[in-house]
A and B are shown apart, each in its own frame.
Chain A
Amino acid sequence: MSCAETIAAYAFRSLGYGERLLPRTDFTLCQQFTLIGSGMIWNIYFGVLALLIGFFIATAVAIGKASPRKAFRKPAEWFIFIFRGSPLFIQFFFAYFLFLSLKGVSPIFNPLTSATFGALIVLILNTAAYSGEIFYGALQSIPKGDIEAADAYGMTGWARFKRVMWPTMLRLAWPAYTNEAIFLFHATALVFFAGFPASQQKGDALYYANYFADKTFNPFVPYPILAGYFIIVTLCVIGLFGLVNRRLNRHLPATGYKKLKIRPQLLR
């Protein structure tokens, strides 16, 4: 099989299209690149959707935690503590078995036991907790003068939040939020390793990398390929978030804004 044929057969294997059987013998580099790359589709799917949806929940959580009212503050604090204080790995397991038992209650919960939705929910909540904490920190460090200026203009409530506090919060939180995004993409690699089964061998990049490493007893090829893919994704995230950072800081004098300092976090 030539390389072009391999790509045609396996490029969308992780979604269930193309060749049904995974290669079993005579593994070529091309196969490994194609299949692991195909698995990256899942990592990107989880990462992008969790970030998009998690962003809004995180904003709500941060506002809740900063609220003077106990009824809002306590739930937000607990939410953040639970998701930041326990391993994501255990969260995945717990959620999977929780969804399994919910399935027995009512068939409405059926889709939740698949990685597509169940793992996505866990990732969304997880990133919401981590970014919620980041946003909360930023909300606390909004310069006092900004809020006073908004008050002086007679802005209150929603207008003051939308026009003054929210943009400043984002601007302050952005470098840390970039790290969180990178770190979330890394966390997506855990999905198929914790509980959630890969049906019909439709797995993510790590799933295929692990498959090749198991079959060939040679970890020195698939894992570096996987690492390469993740580095590309990380660079893309840094690039995109850097653009947003430029836009968020566009009103400041050119030397005034802090350059994005990328310090990827480790593991959750």
Chain B
Amino acid sequence: MNMYDAFGTVLLLLAITAPLAMVFGFGGAVAARSRIAPLRWIGKTYMAIVRGIPDIVFFLFFVIALDQAFEYLRHKWKCPEWTEPIRQGNDFIVCQAAKLPLGNAPQWIHEVYGFSLAILTFAIVFGAFAGNVLFGAMQAVPRAQIETAEAYGFSPRQTFRRVIVPQMWVFALPGLSNLWMVLIKATPLLFLLGVEDIVYWARELGGSKQPQFTDYPHPDWRMWYFGALLIFYLLFTRVSEIVLDRIMGKLTHGQATAAGEAQRKAAA
């Protein structure tokens, strides 16, 4: 049964991470094209830093780093009288009240906390990628459209809200759909973050040697379990492709692009 729940976990992760990553990405993109220099630097650095480094490193890094950052902040806030250093040699020590989750919390809180850390990590990493795509899309809105808005006396803020944002989606969608595929394919990494996801269960249930699973009198079936996962992901990718193609068709409607023009001609 847990194995089926794990599929739910993966879908839940996707459902929460995708919008959250979009928010991060949108923020990054807006910051990167801001007129205030420090904000622009922050946005650009955020998007640039993710390039050139394998993301698995980020996944391993962020979970510990975020955990420690939260505990550190709570430590500063809850135990101001604490005098010993937090890093004692190789150990990271905060006071009991600042532990996250609290030592006496029930099991499900631990699981939820681990899961939210994973979501936050995914959102930060994929937010950077989404930011990149959205930034490019904002730049790709035809210059003439913006000039027209200016000619009508729109302020920069109005131009952004009424012209750039509605029009950028056509340009962003190919990149975003690519990103969605990548996000689907990144979900097995949850396993590394200590969440009991499908990879975890495929290993546990398929294996033959674990003592707690001696009730399953079968030899090593992990190959079949992973084969099933492979097919699950293939189907998921295929369905996403079809859906995204439909959305692209809808969005192209009435846009000043080659595909939009082709649609108009086909209809006429």
Residues 77-115 of B contacting A (Cβ, < 8 Å): 87, 90-92
A231 to B51, CA, bound (A): 9
Encode A149-171 as 1/0 by CB contact (under 8 A) with B.
00000000000000000000000
| Closest chain A residue, CB of each to CB of B187 | A87
Stretch at the interface among B31-39, B155-163, B223-231, B260-268: B223-231
Q: Is A178 an interface residue (CB 8 A)?
A: no
Across the interface, name the chain A residue whose C-beta is closest to B240. A85
* Chain B residues closer than 8 Å to A70, beta-carbon distance: none
User: A190 — which chain B residues lie within 8 A by C-beta?
Assistant: 54, 56
Report yes or no: A234 in contact with B185, Cβ–Cβ below 8 A.
no
Question: Could you tell me the distance between the alpha carbons of A167 and B91 in the complex, rounded to whole angstroms?
Answer: 57
In Å, the complex CA distance between A185 and B56 comes to: 12
The reply on B251 being an interface residue by CB < 8 A is no
Q: Which of chain B's residues has its CB closest to A231's CB?
A: B52
Q: Are B223 and A266 in contact, with the CB atoms below 8 A?
A: no
> CB distance B56 to A189 under 8 Å?
yes
Contact B226 A94 (CB under 8 A): yes
Docked Cα-Cα span, A189 to B60, in Å, equals 12
* Residue of A whose beta carbon sits closest to that of B203: A93
* A199 neighbours in B (Cβ, 8 Å): none
> Does B57 belong to the interface (CB within 8 Å)?
yes
Asked if B237 is at the interface (CB within 8 A of a chain A CB), the reply is: yes
Residues on B with beta carbons closer than 8 Å to the beta carbon of A2: none
Q: State which of A209, A213, A223, A266 has its C-beta within 8 Å of the C-beta of B129.
A: A266
CB<8 Å pairs between A and B, sample of 15: A82-B234, A85-B238, A87-B233, A90-B230, A186-B54, A189-B54, A190-B54, A190-B56, A213-B61, A220-B65, A223-B57, A264-B52, A265-B182, A267-B54, A267-B55
Q: B53 touching A267 by the CB < 8 A rule?
A: no
Kindly state the separation between the CA atoms of A189 and B52 in the bound complex, as whole angstroms: 13
**A185 contacts which chain B residues (CB < 8 A)?**
54
Q: A85-B237, A267-B182 are in contact. Are A97 and B222 (CB under 8 A)?
A: yes
B27 located at the interface, meaning its Cβ lies under 8 Å from any Cβ of chain A in the complex? no
The 5 A-B pairs with the shortest beta carbon distances in the complex, nearest first, are: A186-B54, A97-B223, A94-B226, A87-B185, A85-B237
Residue in chain A with minimal CB distance to B50: A266
Q: Is the CB of B179 within 8 A of A266?
A: yes
B170: which A residues are within 8 A, CB to CB? none
**Known A193-B192, A217-B90: A206·B57 in contact at CB below 8 Å:** yes
Residues of chain B within 8 A of A98, CB atoms compared = 223
Count of A-B contacts with CB under 8 A?
Answer: 124
Q: Tell me whether A91 is interfacial, beta carbon within 8 Å.
A: yes
Q: What are the residues of chain A within 8 A of B57 when measuring CB–CB?
A: 189, 206, 209, 223, 226-227, 230
Residues in B lying within 8 Å of A, measured CB to CB: 51-57, 60-61, 64-65, 68, 87, 90-92, 129, 179, 182, 184-189, 191-192, 199, 202-203, 206, 220, 222-223, 226-227, 229-230, 233-234, 237-238
CA distance A98 to B206 in the complex (A): 12
Q: Quick one: which of A90, A190, A210, A268 has the most chain B CB within 10 A? A: A90
Bound CA span A90–B231, Å = 10
> Taking A94-B223, A266-B182, A268-B185 as contacts, is the C-beta distance between A218 and B90 under 8 angstroms?
yes
- Give the complex CA separation of A206 and B53 in angstroms: 11
A60 at the interface (CB under 8 A from B): no
Residue of B nearest to A101 (CB): B223
A266 to B65, CA, bound (A): 21
A89 to B57, CA, bound (A): 14
Please tell me if the beta carbons of A97 and B226 are within 8 angstroms of each other in the complex: yes
Residue of B nearest to A94 (CB): B226
Q: What residues of chain B lie closer than 8 Å to A27, measured between beta carbons? A: 90
Q: How far is the CA of A25 from the CA of B57 in the complex (A)?
A: 23
Whether, in the assembled complex, A51 has its beta carbon less than 8 Å from a beta carbon of chain B, the answer is no
> Given A86-B185, A186-B55, A219-B61 in contact, is the A93-B226 Cβ separation under 8 Å?
yes
Whether A100 is near chain B, meaning CB under 8 Å from some CB there, is yes
The answer to whether the Cβ of A88 comes within 8 Å of any Cβ in the partner chain is: yes
Give the complex CA separation of A190 and B57 in angstroms. Answer: 10
Alpha-carbon distance A210/B90, docked complex (angstroms): 14
Return chain A residues, CB-CB under 8 Å to B238: 85
A97-B54 CB under 8 A given contacts A210-B60, A266-B179:
no
**B182–chain A nearest beta-carbon distance, Å:** 5
What residue of chain A has the Cβ atom nearest to residue B221's Cβ?
A: A97
CB-based contact A90/B226 at 8 Å:
yes
Additional pairs, 12, CB under 8 Å, beyond known A82-B230, A209-B57: A88-B185, A89-B188, A91-B230, A97-B206, A97-B220, A97-B226, A186-B53, A187-B54, A190-B56, A193-B192, A226-B57, A227-B53
A74 beta carbon closer than 8 Å to chain B: no
- CB-defined interface of A71-94 with B at 8 Å, one 1/0 digit per residue? 000000000011001111111011
- Chain A residues, CB < 8 A from B186: 87, 266-267
Distance (Å) between the CB of A147 and the closest chain B CB? Answer: 24
